[in-house]
Structure 1
Amino acid sequence: MLSMITDNLTTFLATWIVLTLIFALVYKWWRKPHRNFPPGPIGVPLLGVLPYFGENPEQNIRKWSEEQYGPVMSIRMGLEDVVVLNSVDAIMQAFVKQGSQFSGRPSSGAFQLLDMQDGGLSFKPYTSDYKHQKKFVLKTFRE
C-alpha cells in the first residue's frame, strides 16, 4: 500500500517537473528579449525562421518587412534574435544619427566560449576607453 502511494507520488512529481520545464522553454522561446524589441516572425523552436528562408532569404525578409512588420523588424535565426533594417531611412537613423548607440559589438556564444574577459580590441564595448585604445593602435600602426 505504501509503495503504491510513493509510486503515484513519484509519477505525479515527475510529470509536474516535465510539464513545468516544457512550459518554461515555450515561454522563453515566445517572449522577446525586451519590451521595446521590434516585431517579427517567431519561427520554429531551435531553428527560428531558417526553414522559411528558401533559396532567396533576402526576398523573404523584404516581403515580411513590406507586408507585415515594417522597415525595422526582428527575426530569430536559430537561437539568436537579430534586428533587420530594411530601408535607407532606418539604416541612416541607426548608424548615422544614433551611431554611438549602434556601434558596439553583439555578444555571441562563440566569443563567450573563448573567454575573452575584456573583449580584446575587436570585441570591446564602444566606450571612451575603446576610442583611446583604437586611436593609439591606429597611430602606432601608421608609424
Structure 2
Amino acid sequence: YVSAVTEPILGACGGEEPPLLILEPGRAIVSDAAHLITTVIAVKELRGGVRAAVVDAGINILPTSFWRFQDIECAEERGGDLRDTIIYGPLCLQTDIIGKCPLPDLRAGDRLVVKNVGAYNIPQSSTFIFPRPPIVLVEEGKPRIIKRAETLDDIFPA
C-alpha cells in the first residue's frame, strides 16, 4: 500500500524535497479488534415481506452505521434458511439502522454479533437516550471488563 501511495508522489516531485506524508490508517488497523454483542428485542414483518429486528444497540454506540452497514451474524451457530433482515436500533430515530443482512429466523432474546466495529465507534459513541454498554476485552480466551457500563448517575450526576 505504501508504494502505491508514495511512488506517484515522489515521481511528481521531480527530485525536489518530497512533502511530509502523514497517513491515518484507522479502520485498517483496528476495525477487527472489536465486535459488539447485542440482543434482539423484537422481530416484526414489514410491508412487502421485509423482516425487521430491533436490537438493544443503536447508532449512539455505532455511529459508523450512518455511512456503512455493519457485518452482522448470530452469536450462536444455527441452521435454517437465511432471509434478508433489517436490523434497527432502539432509538427514536428513523436513521437508527445498524445494517441489512441475511439471517436465520430470529426471536426476542437472540444475540447477534456486529463484527469489526473497532474503528471510530468507541470514541465517537454518545449517551443519546441510553447509557453506553461495558467494553469487554477478551485476552487468551478470558473476558475482562475494561470499561464498566455507564449508569444514569454517570450521565446526570447529583
Q: What TM-score results when the alignment is normalised by the length of structure 1? A: 0.26
* Relative contact order, higher structure (CA 8 A, sep 6+): 2
> TM (normalized to structure 2)?
0.24
Higher strand share: 2
Q: Which has the larger radius of gyration?
A: 1
